[in-house]
Structure 1
Amino acid sequence: MLYLPVLVMGVLALGTYWLVRSTPVVEHNAPERVRGHEPDYFMHGFSVKSFDPAGKLRSEVMGDVARHYPDTQWLEIDAIRIRSFDAEGRLTTASANRGLTNEDGSEVQLIGNAIVVREAITASKGKPEQVRTEYRGEFLHAFMDTEQVKSNKPVELRRGKDVFTADAMDYDNVQQVILLRGRVRGTLTPTTR
């Protein structure tokens, strides 16, 4: 009887030891798997439209194949085509072999045979208010919200019948200012009266 409490305590200690050994181990703060630059979803033959608060079409992005990369939150689009309307409803179109765009479509990088076109605008009396403007190059970086187009690669600008080429370009449509850098060449065609 004297040793019975010691014996019970020994059995309980062995039972506790067995229970701890047979319980699965909980992983504490396992390191998150490092993701590389791999797409998390694809879209084929798609069209994505965004609208302003009044319900008017603001922009439409179309393409053959799109890949979304979660590490950068950018879409890479093959055969990209874009239609964008400003606050006055003026249309700007863009296309390229490949494009990169952020989630809201406010910033677009056009790569390979890039073309951005702002159509001519006619005033109420039939006179042209703004002539057709076209930008061509292997790389164009368009900012849709601020209406800017930039490129650090050779570009060609056609404004009406006038043609300019340069090694780099910064264009601000709101300010109506274009900065051409590098070897700049231009052909100005006089207007007929």
Structure 2
Amino acid sequence: MQLNPKQIKVSLGRTILRLMPLILMGTITLITFWLVKKNTPPESSLLERVRLHEPDYTIQNGALSALNELGNTKYRVLGKKVTHYDDDASIDILTPRMRLFQADKAPVTVKSDTGHLDGDLTILDLVDNAEIFRPAQAATATEPATLRMLARSSYFKVLINDDIIETDRPIRLEQGMSVMNSTDGGTFNNVDQSMVLSGQVKGRIERLPREAQ
């Protein structure tokens, strides 16, 4: 049977109508794929945006100082090797040594084998052979005499903005001839330069000689 041109056009139109949903779905799929591909960064760009915890610079014999509101030195941090990390702005310090200053009082020095300073410059972790040292100070018009003080522990945390040094590890405290040991650490307040010990505390207390009081 032969089909005339009119019948061919009608048949072709019906076929196209039946296939129209598939054509539309295919077109939408292609457009979606193109949009996703266009808006997805190259793989190399994604890798470049991932910030790894790797040092961006290292300083030998580095120093970091901060001033108080009066322009006087509040604290100073020294280190044999200072390593800065770009991803979180934190700093690793080899043999850190930090000096804390208070008006009319002897400066306090804290040190250890290794240290870590957070990116906000608010917490300094001191690890291994950590010490707090305050030299003896003669009496002044505003301050009483103080004895030499030395506190040792395996770890100290310096809360810089709060002028607090604390630890939850065992601590040995020497003040003048007195020696105290605590099982659960303690807290040193740099504002009034006092130490509070925690846990079980044992040791001996030697009174300050009368002529030195």
- TM-score, normalising length from structure 2? 0.66
Given the superposition, is the C-alpha separation of residues 103 and 50 from structure 1 closer, same or farther in structure 2, using an over 3 Å criterion? farther
2:66 matches 1:31:
no
* Mapped contact 1:137–1:155 kept (Cα < 8 A): yes
1:126 Cα shift? 11
Q: Does 1:187 align with 2:201?
A: no
> What does the per-residue CA deviation read over 1:73-92, in whole Å, with 9 as the maximum and x for residues that have no partner?
32110011111212545411
CA contact (8 A) 1:76 1:101 kept: yes
| Pick aligned residue for 1:66 from 70, 78, 82 | 82
TM-score between both structures, scaled by the size of structure 1: 0.72
Aligned partner of 2:124 in structure 1 is 108
Q: Which is higher, the Rg of structure 1 or of structure 2? A: 2
Aligned length: 168
Q: Which residue of 2 aligns with 1:147?
A: 163
Q: 1:145 to 1:130 in 2, by over 3 A?
A: farther
CA contact (8 A) 2:167 2:187 kept: no
- Rounded Cα–Cα distance in structure 1 between residues aligned with 2:143 and 2:162: 26
* Pair 66,177 (structure 1): closer, same or farther in 2 beyond 3 Å: closer
Residues 13-70 of structure 1 show CA distances to partners (whole Å, capped at 9, x for unaligned) of xxxxxxxxxxxx8664453543332222211111222222433222211111111123
Q: Please say if residues 88 and 119 of structure 2, whose CA atoms lie closer than 8 Å, have aligned partners that are also in contact.
A: no
Q: 1:105 to 1:87 in 2, by over 3 A?
A: farther
Deviates more, 1:137-146 or 1:104-113: 104-113
Does the CA contact (< 8 Å) of 1:45 and 1:65 recur in 2? yes
Q: 2 CA distance for matches of 1:157 and 1:75?
A: 29
Answer whether contact 1:84 1:144 (CA < 8 A) is retained.
no
Q: Which residue of 1 aligns with 2:114?
A: 98
Question: Distance between the aligned counterparts of 1:27 and 1:42, measured in 2?
Answer: 38
Q: Unaligned regions of 5+ residues in structure 1, if any?
A: 1-24
- Spell out the pairing of 1:1-193 with structure 2 (5 A cutoff): 28-29=40-41, 31=46, 33-88=49-104, 90-103=106-119, 105-124=121-140, 128-173=144-189, 174=191, 176=194, 178-181=196-199, 183-193=200-210
Bigger helix share: 2
Judge conservation of contact 1:148–1:170 (CA < 8 Å) in 2.
no
**Is the 2:135–2:148 Cα contact (8 Å) retained in structure 1?**
yes
Q: 2:105–2:143: 8 Å Cα contact kept in structure 1?
A: no
Which region of structure 1 is more displaced relative to structure 2, 27-36 or 78-87?
27-36
For residue 172 of structure 1, report the CA deviation from its aligned partner: 4.3
The superposition leaves residues 130-166 of structure 1 with CA deviations (integer Å, 9 ceiling, x where unpaired) of 3322211111112233222211222111122211112
Over the matched positions of the two proteins, sequence identity in percent amounts to: 24
